[in-house]
């Protein structure tokens, strides 16, 4: 069970790092911070920010 939780944290933190990379930020810092804090919240915030920059701001 503990191994599953660690693998989940790494996968979710990789998602956070991918969104940070897409937004032009240092993805390693976001990866480490999201492992220490909450990768679910970090990935949701970066996904919303990515959507805003890509679709909403791009069309205006």
pLDDT in tens, the chain (60 residues): 678 877 777 777 777 777 777 777 776 777 777 777 776 777 777 778 778 877 776 665
Residue 5's alpha-carbon distances to 8, 23, 39, 56, in angstroms, are: 5, 27, 12, 35
For residue 20, the SS3 value is helix
| CB neighbour list of residue 42: distance below 8 Å, 6 or more residues apart | 13, 16, 30, 33, 34
Q: Return d(Cα 32, Cα 27) in angstroms, integer.
A: 9
What per-residue confidence (pLDDT) applies to 59? 61
What is the pLDDT at residue 7?
79
State the pLDDT at residue 13: 75
Supply the pLDDT for residue 33: 73
Alpha carbon distance 14, 42 (integer Å): 11
pLDDT of residue 48: 80
């Amino acid at each position: 069970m503990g191994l599953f939780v660690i693998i989940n944290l790494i996968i979710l933190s990789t998602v956070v790092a991918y969104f940070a990379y897409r937004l032009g930020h240092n993805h390693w810092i976001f990866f480490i911070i999201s492992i220490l804090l909450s990768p679910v919240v970090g990935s949701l915030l970066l996904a919303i920010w990515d959507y805003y920059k890509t679709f909403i701001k791009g069309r205006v």
